[in-house]
Structure 1
Amino acid sequence: MKLPKTFCALMLAATLGGCTSYQKSLYLQHEEVLNESTKGQLYDFRIMPKDELTITVSTTDPEASAPFYRKIGQSKDGGNNSSIGMDGAKLLSYLVDNNGYIDFPVLGMVKVMGLSNRECEALLREKLQPYLKEVPNVTVRTANYKFSVLGEVNRPGTYTTDAEKVTVFEALAQAGDMTLFSIRDDVQLLREDSTGIRKVYHIDLTQANVAQSPYFYLQQNDVIYVKPTQAKVRTNTFNSNASMWITILSVITSVTSLVLALTR
């Protein structure tokens, strides 16, 4: 039996379309690109304006280091005591201002914008050295690192983390991964730089070389938007229209039944 040419063409188009959709749903294709790369770079989180930093300074003599951290002077038993040590205090975070400075006790205004946490620790350690008899132990942590994931993911929302680096895949994992109706080769990333300029960047998660992209690691307050496929939009539109027409038909049927009942 010889099949019509039109039927064969339709079957071929459907097969090719299915293959294309399958390829577009896969992450990290062509991983050989990464194997051939000889350039490696470890990511470091950089401090930006509006970051909140938790900074602790400690020495073998707690009284000597006490002036160099911000605290709420409340003891463990609830009483106020401005001379308590680190164990009885609640630390306050340092807000980085729009010019990249923090107001540090005794030292005054210190510029930290653009530094990694390790570099900030080294800078503060150097500035504190003249005030102490020993090299202090300084720890810097980011207290408000958050990002948002919107669109075709299973759990859209804003997420916070204690980690100093988060990849776009880790962010999507937090949001329950993309749905089957998501566009993976054009994920949008909204980012604001240290000068307040906002830009949208496009990321292709189907290609392995995304791991070499400058947008692979997220920054503070990044927003990831996953666009829906046309099929999802059509489905939602159809469901919405179908619901509307069912409601209209139901009303018409009820009115018609009422009219017929009154005319009998």
Structure 2
Amino acid sequence: MKKIIFSVIVTAMIIAMTGCGSSKGFTYLENVDSISLAGSRGLYDARIMPKDELTITVNTIDPDAAAPFNLQGRSSSGGRKDVGSSGGSSQGYLVDNSGFINFPVIGKIQVSGLTKPECETLIKSKIQPYLSRTENPIVTVRMSSYHVTVLGEVGQPGVIPVNTEKMSVLEALAQAGDLGVYGKRDNIMLIREDMTGQKHVVRLNLNDANILNSPYYYLQQNDVLYVEPNHVKAKNSSVGPSTTLWFSFVGIITSVASLVVSVLR
């Protein structure tokens, strides 16, 4: 009889302590086996934004023909140096707030909103009339690395550089040390700025595998991810009358259990 009463008390205490928590919502992509991922088909290309820095080089069979279309350094003797080849920072074009670059010979070209292949095709079409029919220019556009920011309930919040021109939400969170147990996985805040400077806020649900089909799955330049704390963290972050009452209640239960065990011995 004593053992039965003691088991009932211990079971009640365990239920009381564990009833406040739940494992629901901790798994990423919970329904991945039951949805179609057809919407995720296609390779991602980053789009050029204002304030991006581009490296653009033009090459032709005749280096002298390509020279006017390349930003180029000069040797100590005053002559040309590395004409038509990539020149690192000497080849940099900063996209202005209106989305334009100032390209040699051609002048202003609007490039914001274009992918790299689209930008290369546009520039090639602009310079082709200045070349002979036998010249087939090769235009190469590269984007300098950009960054995204991850804040909130993650292991290592901070600014993350993107050197590959492609980073997904899951990759960014992994770089930031993944979500902690107190992070809301079903309500990640994404703050994004468009080409006009307008800010937009989108909510992402990592529990739902449809995020893989989302246009927000891949991050853009200067995106900010904020992982909000869940209700457990919010409750634990403040100690007030309700918290004191809860500890008192646990203390009373423990004392009563100890008393009952002592009496039944």
Please indicate the TM-score interval, normalised by the length of the shorter structure: 0.7 to 0.9
210-219 vs 55-64, greater mean Cα deviation = 55-64
SS at match of 1:205: coil
Question: Aligned pair in 2 of structure 1 residues 28, 85: CA closer, same or farther (>3 Å)?
Answer: same
In the alignment, the residues of structure 1 paired with residue 77 and residue 46 of structure 2 have an alpha-carbon distance, to the nearest angstrom, of 37
Q: Following TM superposition, by how much is the alpha carbon of 1:199 offset from its aligned partner in structure 2, in angstroms? A: 1.8
For the pair 1:150 / 2:147, whether they are aligned, the reply is no
In structure 1, runs of 5+ residues without a counterpart are 239-264
Deviations 1:212-253 (A, max 9, x none): 122111111101111223433454556xxxxxxxxxxxxxxx
Report if the CA contact (8 A) 2:191-2:202 is conserved: yes
Separation of aligned partners in 1, 2:106 and 2:86: 23
| 1:11 is the counterpart of 2:10 | no
Partner of 1:208: 209
Query: Which stretches in structure 2 are left out of the alignment for 5+ residues?
Result: 240-265
TM-score w.r.t. the length of structure 2 is: 0.76
Q: Give the distance between the partners of 1:80 and 1:156, measured in 2 at CA.
A: 50
Equivalent position amino acid for 2:28 in 1: Y
Q: 1:249-264 counterparts in 2 under 5 A?
A: none
Counterparts of 2:122 and 2:189, CA distance in 1:
36
User: Following superposition of structure 1 onto structure 2, how do residues 79-158 of structure 1 map, counting pairs within 5 Å?
Assistant: 79=76, 81=78, 83-86=80-83, 89-90=87-88, 91-133=90-132, 134-158=135-159
SS across alignment from 2:57: strand
- Alignment root-mean-square deviation, CA: 2.8
Structure 1 contact 146–159 (Cα < 8 Å) conserved:
yes
Residue number in structure 1 paired with 2:253? none
Distance of aligned partners of 1:120 and 1:212 in 2 relative to their CA distance in 1, 3 Å threshold: same
Relative to structure 1, the CA distance from residue 149 to residue 74 in structure 2 (aligned partners, 3 Å threshold; closer, same or farther) is farther
CA distance in 1 between counterparts of 2:46 and 2:70 reads 23
Alignment of 1:23 with 2:27, yes or no, is no
Aligned-partner residue type, residue 185 of structure 1: D
Distance 1:231 1:37, change over 3 A: closer
Identity of aligned residues (%): 44
Q: Which residue of 2 aligns with 1:247?
A: none
> How far does residue 156 in structure 1 lie from its aligned partner after superposition?
1.6
Q: Aligned-pair distance for 1:148?
A: 0.9
Give the Cα–Cα distance (whole angstroms) in 2 for the partners of residues 182 and 231 of structure 1.
10
1:231 equivalent in alignment to 2:232: yes
Counterpart Cα distance in 1 of 2:188 and 2:179? 10
Q: How many residues align?
A: 230
| Offset at residue 88 of structure 1 (A) | 8.9
Letter in 1 for 2:33: E
SS of alignment partner, residue 210 of structure 1: helix
Render the CA deviation track for 1:156-180: whole Å, top value 9, x for unaligned.
Answer: 2112222122110111122222222
CA contact (8 A) 2:182 2:229 kept: yes
In the superposition, the TM-score normalised over structure 1's length comes to 0.76
CA 1:104–1:82 in 2, change beyond 3 Å: closer, same or farther? farther
C-alpha change, 1:39 and 1:149, in structure 2 (3 Å) is closer
Letter paired with 1:112: V
Q: Distance in 1 between matches of 2:233 and 2:77?
A: 59
Range 113-122 or range 136-145, more displaced: 136-145
The answer to whether residue 184 in structure 2 is matched with residue 183 in structure 1 is yes
**SS where residue 24 of structure 1 aligns?**
coil
Q: Secondary structure at the match of 2:216?
A: coil
Deviation at 1:108, TM superposition (A): 0.4
Q: Distance between the aligned counterparts of 1:55 and 1:147, measured in 2?
A: 24
Q: Distance in 1 between matches of 2:192 and 2:79?
A: 41
What is the alpha-carbon distance in structure 2 between the residues aligned to residue 29 and residue 94 of structure 1? 44
CA contact (8 A) 1:149 1:158 kept: yes
Distance 1:167 1:198, change over 3 A: same
